[in-house]
Amino acid sequence: MKANLLLPFFAAIIGMTGSLHAKNPDLAAATKKVDELLAVGWTKHKIAPNPIVGDEVFVRRAYLTVVGRIPTLEETQAFLTWQSPDKRSKLVDKLLSSDGYVHHFVNYWADVLRAQSQGVGGSTTAQSYMNYLRQALRENKPFDQLTRELISAEGSCFDTGAIGYYMRDRGMPLDNLSNTTRIFLGTRMECAQCHDHPFDKWRQKDFYQMAAFTHNMSGGSFQSASITEAQKMMAKDKSLDADTRDLMRRAITEATRSLRDTIVTQNKASLRLPHDYKYSDAKPKDVVQASVMFGKPVTLQKEANPIQEFAKWLTSPENPRFTNVVANRLWKRVFGLGLIEPVDELMDSSVASNPELMKFLEQTMRAVNYDMKAYLKVLLNTQAFSRASTREEVNAAEPYYFQGPVFRRMSSEQIWDSLVTLVSPDPDQPNWSSREREQRDLEKRNQLSELLKKTEAPLILEAAKQVAVLMREQNKEFDKLRAELDVARAKDDKERVKDIQRRLNQSQTILRQTVSKCFYEAAKKSGNKEVQKALADAAEGSDMEMAMMNMMSDSRVDARDMPLSDAEMKQIQADAALVGIKPKDEKSLKSYTNYRKTLHQTWCRAAELPSPAPRGHFLREFGQSDRDIIENANDEASVPQALAMMNSALVAQLSSGWSELAMNLRKCQEPEDKINTLYLSLFSRKPTVKEQAALFELLETAGTGNTAFEDLILGAISTQRFLFIE
C-alpha cells in the first residue's frame, strides 16, 4: 500500500484503545488490505486460495479462536438462523467483548509469561499476578502499556500484581533477562549468558550489558520499618542469649510467613562480568555499563531509573522487534502459524513468508496503539480467516502462504473448555469459590502487612520475647513426643505412632496460635487506633486473641454459599422440573440446587482452575504447559489421553445426569431430533444424509437408550471432527 493511502487509515485510528464498534471503516480498510497482500502472495507463488467456509464451520472456528471453546447449542442455533448480512463481523465483536475472550487469552499469556497461580514466588504474589493479567485483558490494556508495567514493576503485590513478572524468576536475574528478550523481542539469548552466541551475532558482553538494566530487580519478603527497628533492638539487647535471639527471630518469621515473596525492590549493586570471562573486549569481573543491543541507544543519566528507561526502549514503536513479535504472535493465534517461525527466534536473516504483509501488520499494530482487540478484529474479519483450513501437514521448513488457516488440534485448554460447554449451562461463569477465597486471602494478607507496619517496634520486640518463652516450652514437649515416637515405632505400636504423628502435625497450628496470642497482647497496648481497629476487623467475630491467626490462615469457602439471583433460582427450578424433580420434593430440589452451585468448581474454564492444573488432571494429560518454560504446551496425541476419555467419569457426566448436553437431549422426543441436537452441540452442524443414515442403522441395533448415546458421545469427542479446529 502506498504511503498516501495509509495516512487516512492511521490518522483515524491513532490513539484508539477501548471498545470496538461493529462498523469501523478504517479497520475494514486494514482488513481488506491484509486480504490483498495475501492474494499478491498467492499469485506470486501460483497458489489457489481455499474456498470460503459455510456458517457452520465459521461459528465453531470463531468461538474456538476468540473465546477458546465450542459454541453452546443455543449460540450455534442463534448464529445459523441469524439473517444479518454482516453477522460474521458482529459475532467477532460480540466474542471479543465477552468474558470468554479473557478466559482464553489469559491461558495464552500465562503460558508465555509462565504465570502460575501457585508455587513459584509464593501463592499470594502468584495469585495477584494472575489477577493482574485477567484484569489487563478485561480492560483491554494496550500491549505496550502491559509490557512496560511488567518490566518496570516494583513494590508490593498488594499494590500491583505485575511484580509477579520478576518474582517468577526470583534469584535468577540473568534468566529473567533471557526470558524478557525471548518474549518481547523474539530473540533467543540464553547461549550468550555463558559465551558468544554460536549462531547469532550476540556476544556475551551484549547480554551482560542488557542485563545491567534489570539485574537489580530482587524479590523478597515483607519487611516494615518497625520490624527492622525491633530486630536492631534485639541485636543490641545484651540480656538475650543466642538461643533466645534465634527463637525471637523465628517468632517474627512466623508472624510474616504468609507475607513471604510479596515485595520486589530495586537495589543499587553493579553487575560484573563472570570470573571466567574469556574474550578480549573486557576483563573478568569488570563492571558492566547498561547498554541496549540494537535500536536507538539508551543513555542513563545519574538520576534515571534503569528499569523504567529499559521498559521505554523495549516498547518503543521505533524498536525494530517489539512490534513485529506481538503482531506475529497474534497472527499465529488466529491462523495457527506465524508469518515468521519460530515466533520467538528472530535473527537478522529471518524473513516472513509474506514480507509485505508482515510489514503492514506491524504498521497496523502501531496505528491501533497496540490495542490487541482492534488488531485481532482486523485479522478475524479477513476473508482469509473465513476460508477452509489447509488439511495437508505444513512443513515447518517451508514457508506457508495462508491460503486458509492451518488445520490443527485444539489446545488442552480448548478441549477442556469445550467439554465444560457440554456440561455447564453457563460455561464462562467465574469460579466463584476460588475467586472469593483468593479475594479474602489477599485482603487478610494486606491487613496483616498494614497491622505490622503500624505496630510500634518495642511492641513487636515484646511479642517476640513472649513467643520465644512459650516456644522454648513447646519445643521441649515436641522433643518428648519425638522420643516417644521412636519408642512406639520400635514396638511397632501403630495406633500410638498414628496418635503421636497427629499431635506433631499440629505443631504449626500451635505455633501460629502462640504467635497470634502474643502479638495480639502486644498490639493491643499500641497507642495507634488503626492497629486496634485492624485487630477487631480481623477477629471476624471470634476471639480477639485469634485475630492475627485469622490473617495468617487461608480462608475456607463453601461453594454452596454462592449467592443466586431470583432469575438464576427460577432457571434452576425450571431445569429441575425438566429432569423430573417435583416442586414439593424439597430434598431433591436442594440436591439439584447444590449441584448447580458447585458446578462452577468442578466444571469451570481452564483459566479458572489452578494454573497449571495438578498432575493427573485432564488438562495435564492433554498437554497443558507446566509453565516452567515459555510456551511449554504439547498438542501430541497419547495413550493416556485415550484412557482418560474411555475410563474416566467424563462421558457419564456428558451423557447422563444433569449436564447441559443431557438436558438438551432430554428435550428431544424423536431419535432424529436427538441426533441433530448431538451434532449441533458437538460440531455446530447437523449430520449429513450419509452420517444420519449410518447413525439410524446403529441405533436400530443398539437401541435409543442412554448407553447407545454414551457410545455415540464417546466416539464423537474422540474424533478429529471434535478435537481439531476445522
State pLDDT tens for residues 219-240: 999 989 999 999 999 999 999 9
Q: Where are the alpha helices (DSSP H) in 72-172?
A: 73-81, 87-96, 99-113, 123-138, 143-151, 164-167
pLDDT tens-digit map of 74-111: 999 999 999 999 999 999 999 999 999 999 999 999 99
User: Where residue 119 falls among pLDDT bands split at 50, 70, 90?
Assistant: low
Q: What is the pLDDT of residues 151-171, one digit of tens each?
A: 999 999 999 999 999 999 999
Q: Check pLDDT > 60 for residue 19.
A: no
Q: So what's the pLDDT on residue 12?
A: 37
| Whole-Å CA distances, 295 to 43, 315, 357 | 35, 11, 22
564 or 682, higher pLDDT? 682
Which pairs count as long-range contacts for 473-477, CB under 8 Å and 24+ apart, including other chains? 474/507, 474/510, 474/511, 474/514
Instruction: Give residue for cell 431433591.
Output: 588
Backbone angles phi, psi at 186, to 5 degrees: 60, 30
Length of the chain, in residues = 726
Q: Is the pLDDT of residue 504 over 60?
A: yes
Measured at the CA of 398, the angle between CA 393 and CA 400, to 5 degrees, comes to: 70
535-539 long-range contacts (CB < 8 A, ≥24 apart) are 535/451, 537/447, 538/444, 538/447, 538/448, 538/451
pLDDT of amino acid 415: 96
- Predicted local confidence at residue 544, as pLDDT: 65
3-state secondary structure of 265: strand
Give yes or no for residue 572 having a pLDDT over 60.
yes
Residue pair 323/307 in contact by the 8 Å Cβ criterion: no
What is the C-alpha separation between 386 and 54, in angstroms, rounded? 8
Residue 25 has pLDDT above 50, yes or no: no
Residue with cell 518454560: 629
**Beta-bridge partners for 724:** 409
Q: pLDDT at position 540, please?
A: 65
Q: Where are the alpha helices (DSSP H) in 506-559?
A: 507-523, 529-539, 547-552
pLDDT the model gives residue 454? 87
pLDDT tens-digit map of 409-461? 999 999 999 999 999 999 999 999 999 999 999 998 998 898 888 889 999 99
pLDDT above 70 covers a percentage of the chain that reads 94
**pTM higher than the cut 0.75:** yes
Higher pLDDT, 76 or 6: 76
Highest mean pLDDT among 38-47, 631-640, 698-707: 38-47
Average pLDDT over residues 46-51: 96
> pLDDT for 515-565, tens place per residue?
888 888 888 888 888 887 777 777 766 666 677 777 888 888 988 888 888
Computed over every residue of the chain, the mean pLDDT equals 89
Q: Is residue 17 pLDDT above 50, yes or no?
A: no
Please state the rounded mean pLDDT for residues 365-381: 97
What integer is the mean pLDDT of 7-32?
A: 53
- Residue 7 in this model has a pLDDT that exceeds 50: no
Q: At 263, is the secondary structure helix, strand, or coil?
A: strand
- In contact, 197 and 191? CB cutoff 8 Å: yes
- Residues contacting residue 17 through CB under 8 Å, at least 6 positions apart: 140, 142, 368, 369, 371, 374
Classify residue 371 by its DSSP letter. Answer: -
- Lowest mean pLDDT, pick from 158-172, 336-350, 496-510: 496-510
Closest CA to 185 of 353, 345, 297, 355: 345
